[in-house]
Structure 1
Amino acid sequence: MTTTPAATPPGWYPAPDGSGTSWWWDGGQWVQPPQVPAAANPTTLARLALATQILLVAGGAVAATTIAVEGYGVGVASDYLNGNDTSIALFDLYDQGTLVGSIAAIVATIATAVLWAVWQFHAAKHVAGQTRRTPGWHAGSWFIPIVCWWFPYQNISDLWRAIGRVRPTWQIAWWVLWLAGSAVSQLSSRVYLAAEDLEQLRISMWLSIVGELLTLAAVPLACLIVRGITQGIVQRAATPAHTLVA
């Protein structure tokens, strides 16, 4: 078998067996990479991660738009409560903006939730056996009442450990922001549906603004999670830690 001179620096070189593939030379011996099953190919995961981040950013844009619409509603309601009777006519514009924003928010939330679950399922498959729960639980725990308050956080922590990294200190901030944003937004919806006067309606608008701000703050941290875990899995897949060939 052809022997690479010891002075050759470590790197990928044409296989010494003439197979036309590339092997890793660590400076003293060959490292032969195994055949990687199609299911373990990280390309699909990387594409899912990119799509998930795009949807997260789109959801952030919807949240920012909602904040603007609710801010407009607060201004109109405040003017009317302060005695400007003509401002009541401006509520038609607010109602239209709220309707469009609500539809956009529902679509963005569902699309992002589904794609995130698919991404996490594939990520967990790449590190199967190294997390406390199966890939199915990684995806499904997001949609189970009560369980969704904590299991997803644990599952993300497991993925960090599986790729050899310590859970980021800011991960808890992402989780608290996401939970708080969801809770405040739900409270805003309840106050809005039960509102009997304009003051209660204005309170629901303020709650909506706070909920969307919390959600918007969680978006960049969510993107960092998807990107960091995906990069760790891709890098691990490219690291030659396989059978040594003399």
Structure 2
Amino acid sequence: MTTPMPAPMPTPPYAAPPGGAWLRSPAALGRATAVLLGLVIATDLFACYADFLEMDVTGDLAAGVTGADVIDRVDRADSLYGAAGIAQGVALVATAVVYLCWLWRIRVNAEVFDASRHSMKRGWTIGAWFCPVVNLWFPRRIVADSWDASAPWGSRSGHSPVNAWWTVWLAGLLVGRFADTSSRHAETADELKEAAKAMLLSDGLDIAAAALAVVVVVQLTRMQERKVLSGELPAPALG
């Protein structure tokens, strides 16, 4: 008796990937991005310490405390404040470069998985971050589209991690702008103290945003690796 041949597995209705899109592992870039985001968190924690010192000494100045000890504390607080700003800037630039490399690879892979999921051209993966106004929502849309395309076929993927990260990131950005403006225009000890409070809130939001970004990076990287291992790939990707 002839054994019947098994029925072929149904092929998900993927859209054909655009030219130049091929799968590459995002694992190494994902790990590097997560590590650098950890560095961002570390520099933000250092900045929070500097913020506390600034608040403490400006509070004493506002209360009328004088003397050599206060002057020394002012100098120390100012030095740490400046050092924290430099450390944050260096960490942010390094992280941004690696993050964008990771995001580009994630986006290209997501196009291979399902090109129909993307509402924006691939070039916006980088450009969206540098265009005024649209950088308030385009990057989130790109990550969300890649998240959808990388989810297991047939599943309904939510965007909770992406939405949480982006909301906190925007809040930190707005508070940071306010804190920076307040600091530059502060003239009295009371105003400097209030500016330091705002900066502390900004740094705290940056820590939360970086932690949520780690969650998004790790989860999205794992989603793509699992999708490759599951064999849920369109014919062009399988070669």
Identify if the C-alpha distance between structure 1 residues 76 and 162 changes in structure 2 by more than 3 Å, giving closer, same or farther.
same
- Which entry has the higher C-alpha Rg, 1 or 2? 1
Deviation at 1:239, TM superposition (A): 2.3
Deviates more, 1:120-129 or 1:231-240: 231-240
Offset of residue 88 of structure 1: 3.1
1:117 and 2:62 equivalent?
no
Q: CA-to-partner distance for each residue in 1:124-162, whole Å, 9 max, x for gaps?
A: 111222311233211221121101101111111111110
1:129-140 aligned within 5 A = 129=115, 130-140=117-127
User: Structure 1 residues 241, 200: CA separation in 2 closer, same or farther (over 3 Å shift)?
Assistant: closer
CA distance in 2 between counterparts of 1:191 and 1:241 reads: 52
C-alpha distance in 2, partners of 1:123/1:69?
A: 36
Aligned residue for 1:106? 89
* RMSD between aligned residues: 2.4
- Among 69, 76, 88, the alignment partner of 1:93 is 76
Q: 1:174 corresponds to which residue?
A: 165
Runs of 4+ in 1 over 4 A off after TM superposition: 27-31
Q: Once structures 1 and 2 are overlaid, which stretch shifts more, 118-127 or 132-141? A: 132-141
2:48 is equivalent to residue 67 of structure 1? yes
Matches within 5 A, 1:1-246: 40-43=22-25, 45-86=26-67, 87-128=70-111, 129=115, 130-164=117-151, 166-241=157-232
Using structure 1 for the length normalisation, give the TM-score: 0.79
Post-superposition offset of 1:176:
1.5
Residues 121 and 136, structure 1, Cα contact 8 Å, conserved in 2: no
Structure 1 residue identity aligned to 2:42 = A
In structure 2, distance between residues paired with 1:68 and 1:28: 65
Residues paired across the two proteins, number: 212
CA distance in structure 1 between the aligned counterparts of 2:77 and 2:57, rounded to whole angstroms: 9
Distance in 1, Cα, partners of 2:209 & 2:176? 14
Structure 2 length-normalised TM: 0.81
Greater RCO between the two (CA within 8 Å, min separation 6)? 2
2-side partners of 1:241 and 1:70: how far apart? 50
